[in-house]
Structure 1
Amino acid sequence: MDAPSKRVDIVPAKRRAIILEHLRANGAASIQELADAIGGSQSTARRDLEHLVEKGYLERTHGGAVLVQPTRATFEAEALVNAELRHAEKVAIGREAAKRLSPGDSVILDGSTTVMEAAKATAERGIPLTVVTNSLDIAQFCAGVNSWRVIVPGGSVRPGFKNLSGQPGEDFIKTIHADLCLCGASAVTGTLLTDNSLEVASMKRAMISAARRSILLVDSSKFTVPGFCTLCDVSDIHEVITDSAIKPDALTALKSAERKITVVSTPAET
């Protein structure tokens, strides 16, 4: 009989992120080990596993699962699950990025989950800003900060994601001249930045070009095989902020672009 659930309040996206992080740390796990990790029943763990297998994150094994490298160049982590993955690292990167903003700055924020953490950290500083974002979630958060002017450029909402792309937003972005752009990427391979969506990549390129300085916010898991389409090269970015779990060869490749690289520690390391 399944053990009674101890953490039934955890939403599915959080449970699935816990499972993925457990497998990242341990390589493979049994159903019971995953049930223990999420504090739930074996049946709940099985349902979450089936969902993650269907979406391409995992492969089932006899009695458990293993994490796999996504085989599709167009693979995208689900928005809610992605927000929970590497959360401590994203918070640390976001807090570092927030230090780059000064009172009165204009800043472009893309829809990356790490950029959301930068917005939250900046809000704690209470400085006045003009914010331009294509993320409905970030726009909603920023609208709650009284000292911020928030501009949403428009466009079409991608199915499953609360980010705008295409027209008229992209043309609008090309007319502005912001102080700073904070953006993410689906993957960093050597010095190549890629994304999984042509429309998203096009919008991000416009954002980077529309700012005097641009900073890439990527946790160490993003240093992997390329996504579907090219975004730009690291040389087109002024600074990269990542976490200390970045592999040495990935860090060496970044440094070859002769751009500022900032590596932050997570709370567990400090």
Structure 2
Amino acid sequence: MIKAERQNKITEMLQDEKKISVKALSKALGVSEVTIRIDLEQLENKGVLYRTHGGASLVPKKEISDKGQNQIQEMLFGEYLKYDEHKERIGKLAAGLVQEGEWIFIGQGSTCYFVAKELVAKDNLNVLTNNLCVAAVLAQNPKSKVVVTGGSLIHQHMFLAGDMLLRSLENIFISKAFMGVSGIDFKGGFTVSNDAELRVYDRIKNITQELIIVADTSKFGKPTFISIGELSMPDIVITDGKLETEYLECFSENRVKVLY
């Protein structure tokens, strides 16, 4: 079966099943799981499906056929719909830390979106988020409990911030917070691009048992605008590859666990 025929078959199977696993597709089509994952990546880039943890979910027909809807979806997700294998790896590692039934926070940024994608298939999932793209992807699982904070929309990055967000987090306590950053270096520590993100971090640090930074290796050695804390700040750092020895030693000395 050639690639085009195989991808058409995958689309047909998804139209019937709505969701399907890589393993099931591999068995049905008689090809390796690696081949299926490549097919799913290409179909996702075409807007046919969403890839989920271990499988795929069909994009509703209205989103495919309605040009206006496609434009709205593009405005909503923007860069978040672009596949990134490095952020996907981080997402898988992050999802592996989430325990059934616990409340977690998922913050702003495209890496956090990939964390959400890997959590879609989890049962008894409880998520608090200020990231509208995270909320949208988790909406694919009707069994998940998703609470979106209040706040003013930061249009370019599709997250909520401001005084209303801070008020919405009063009397809230969570087990884990997954947060993205714009840069990491020894002088500035963890840095972000604007003061709206700084205020979110300041509140989240005070209401979570574990603060988890998710950032690919390209962020290291590249400080941005505002420091949100020193390298000793988080409990865990999740990245996509081995870090330079200096960073590993610094995290180790400060009892920050590194996953990659």
> Shorter chain as normaliser: what TM range?
0.5 to 0.7
- CA–CA separation in structure 1 for the residues paired with 2:82 and 2:245: 25
Corresponding position of 1:69: none
Per-residue deviation at 1:245? 5.0
Is residue 122 of structure 2 the alignment partner of residue 121 of structure 1? no
Corresponding position of 2:72: none
Q: Which TM-score applies when normalising by structure 2? A: 0.65
CA contact (8 A) 2:181 2:215 kept: yes
CA contact (8 A) 1:131 1:149 kept: yes
CA contact (8 A) 1:97 1:241 kept: yes
Change (3 A) 1:230 1:154: same
CA contact (8 A) 1:94 1:121 kept: yes
Per-residue deviation at 1:226? 2.1
Corresponding position of 1:196: 193
Is residue 100 of structure 2 the alignment partner of residue 100 of structure 1? no
- CA–CA separation in structure 2 for the residues paired with 1:225 and 1:90: 17
- CA–CA separation in structure 2 for the residues paired with 1:188 and 1:216: 10
Trace 1:59-208 onto structure 2 (pairs within 5 A): 80-81=78-79, 84=82, 87-124=84-121, 126-190=122-186, 192-208=189-205
Q: Which amino acid aligns with 2:159?
A: N
- CA–CA separation in structure 2 for the residues paired with 1:250 and 1:84: 29
- CA–CA separation in structure 2 for the residues paired with 1:185 and 1:252: 20
- CA–CA separation in structure 2 for the residues paired with 1:205 and 1:132: 16
Change (3 A) 1:187 1:135: same
Q: Which amino acid aligns with 1:247?
A: E
- CA–CA separation in structure 2 for the residues paired with 1:192 and 1:228: 11
Corresponding position of 1:261: 258
Per-residue deviation at 1:144? 2.3
CA contact (8 A) 2:120 2:137 kept: no
Change (3 A) 1:239 1:130: same
Q: Which amino acid aligns with 2:124?
A: P
* Runs of at least 5 residues in structure 2 that lack an aligned partner in the other structure: 1-76
- CA–CA separation in structure 2 for the residues paired with 1:208 and 1:82: 25
CA contact (8 A) 2:80 2:133 kept: no
Change (3 A) 1:82 1:224: farther
- CA–CA separation in structure 2 for the residues paired with 1:98 and 1:251: 22
Per-residue deviation at 1:249? 3.0
- CA–CA separation in structure 1 for the residues paired with 2:80 and 2:168: 28
Q: Which amino acid aligns with 1:173?
A: L
Corresponding position of 2:30: none
Corresponding position of 1:223: 220
Per-residue deviation at 1:82? 7.2
Q: Count residues with an aligned counterpart.
A: 183
* Runs of at least 5 residues in structure 1 that lack an aligned partner in the other structure: 1-78, 264-270
State which of 227, 232, 237 in structure 2 corresponds to 1:235: 232
Cα RMSD over matched residues? 2.0
Q: Which amino acid aligns with 2:204?
A: M
Per-residue deviation at 1:81? 4.5
CA contact (8 A) 2:211 2:234 kept: yes
1:196-247 Cα offsets, whole Å, 9 max, x none, are: 1001111122123211112111100111232211112232311111122533
1:164-214 Cα offsets, whole Å, 9 max, x none, are: 110211122242001111111111112811111001111122123211112
